[in-house]
């Protein structure tokens, strides 16, 4: 009986950890690139002490402007883990989520060509703890991303929502 219970607990833990990785793994590659940009930015800040993992998408938009060029917008949440900054996600069991820290609210927008992020216009990454996010910041994010696509001659970036 005890062995059966132990097996059930271990199977549940393995399933939970596999599910924890699932949201990021299910993202299309073009959107994963934006999440990776946010990770890079967070890891470059000395004040960030913990590793973050992708939690979920809030909004995604993608505009194809022809010749393999796309403009992407992705609003998503990152959740802190108990692991120190710089930890890889190769073993998610090693980095369980923390519930004593707020989510990181991130918005990224960028241009891709041939499935690579273009340097021009410069990709925009904005991440802030959710309690600190103001309505003015939300508006600034949206305006910046809209302007990025307008300045490049593309139709409005946020016109087509994919999720």
What's phi and psi for 5, nearest 5 deg? Answer: -65, -40
Q: What is the pLDDT of residue 12?
A: 41
Q: What is the pLDDT of residue 163?
A: 52
Structural domains for the chain: 23-151 (3.10.450.10)
- Cβ–Cβ under 8 Å, residues 23 and 57: yes
Cis amide linkage into residue 121, ω under 30° from 0? yes
Q: What is the pLDDT of residue 59?
A: 95
Query: Structure pTM?
Result: 0.77
Q: What is the pLDDT of residue 100?
A: 92
Which DSSP letter does residue 97 get?
A: B
Tell me the C-alpha distance between 155 and 46, whole Å.
Answer: 38
Tell me the C-alpha distance between 127 and 16, whole Å.
Answer: 26
Q: What is the mean pLDDT of each run of 10 residues along the chain (163 residues)?
A: 39 43 87 95 86 93 89 95 76 79 95 93 95 94 85 50 49
């Amino acid at each position: 009986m005890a062995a059966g219970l132990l097996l059930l607990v271990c199977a549940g833990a393995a399933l939970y950890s596999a599910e924890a990785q699932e949201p990021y793994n299910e993202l299309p590659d073009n959107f994963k690139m934006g999440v990776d940009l946010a990770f890079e930015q967070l890891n470059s800040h000395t004040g960030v002490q913990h590793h973050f993992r992708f939690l979920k998408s809030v909004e995604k938009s993608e505009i194809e402007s022809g010749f393999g060029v796309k403009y992407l917008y992705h609003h998503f949440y990152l959740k802190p883990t108990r692991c120190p900054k710089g930890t890889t996600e190769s073993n998610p069991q090693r980095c369980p989520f923390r519930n004593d820290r707020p989510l990181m609210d991130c918005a990224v927008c960028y241009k891709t060509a041939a499935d690579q992020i273009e340097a021009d216009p410069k990709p925009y990454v904005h991440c802030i703890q959710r309690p600190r996010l103001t309505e003015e910041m939300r508006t600034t994010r949206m305006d910046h991303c809209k302007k990025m696509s307008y300045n490049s001659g593309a139709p409005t970036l946020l016109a087509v929502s994919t999720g």
